[in-house]
Amino acid sequence: MICQECNERPATLHFTNFSNGEKTELHLCERCAQEQGEMFLMNQGAGFSINHFLQGLLNMDSPFQAKTKDPFQQQEEVLQCENCSMTFPQFLKVGRFGCSHCYDTFREYLIPVTRRLHSGNTTHHGKIPKRVGGTIQLQRNIATLKHTLSDLIAKEEFEKAVDVRDEIRALEKQLAEERRGGE
């Protein structure tokens, strides 16, 4: 089957849309799907659902197949979340995780998924919850200050650099204390 969008490459991704009792199908190649796919995903009103997208991911040369531990074919090694019993194939089928522990269980397979869904991003850079976030904010502040420090040194603004260095030391001390307290 040829991609409906470019009419050039073979269609490897297949979307099905049900709306008003009518079924429409869309067959795209990987490249066109990548360009359009995210639009469908977010446009939930249009009914193109994420599970079709995730299933589509499996039909192509993906890191899933490159893994020696194939999460599908070797039955005995199927990844399963200990907390909620969801398996990786189940997740791909429904497109939803069962619980927060699933992220840990499936972690090594999630990078290509999040990369595709979030324009290449795989790491959170936003808000950190005050309590549960624990020392993450502290670590992030230290990293930012270290960056500032090297900038200041490059600009030869040594007086300011000394202040920043002291600030980093104080935070590192705080971090060490919090870590000790947490254990």
Q: Which residues form the interface with Zn ion (CB under 5 A)?
A: 3, 5-6, 9, 29, 32, 81, 83-84, 86, 98-99, 101-102
Beta carbon nearer to other proteins, 74 or 85: 85
112 binds other proteins (CB under 8 A): no
Can you name the residues that pair with 17 across neighbouring β-strands?
A: 24
150 binds other proteins (CB under 8 A): no
Helices assigned H by DSSP within 15-62: 30-42, 50-58
Joined tokens for residue 133? 């976030």
Q: How distant, in Å, are the alpha carbons of 24, 25, 29, 45, 46 from that of 20? A: 11, 14, 27, 12, 11
Q: What is the largest CA-CA distance in the chain?
A: 71
Scanning 38-46, 72-80, 142-150, 164-172 for contacts with other proteins by CB under 8 A, the matching segment is 38-46
Residues 6+ apart with CB under 8 A from 39: none
Cα 114 to its chain centre, rounded Å, is: 3
What SS3 state is found at 97? coil
73 binds other proteins (CB under 8 A): no
Hey, which residues between 46 and 65 contact other proteins (CB under 8 A)? 46, 50
CB of 135 to other proteins, least distance (A): 10
CB of 148 to other proteins, least distance (A): 18
Residues in touch with other proteins (CB under 8 A)? 19-20, 38-39, 41-43, 45-46, 50, 83-84, 86, 94-101, 103-104, 110, 113-114, 117-133, 136
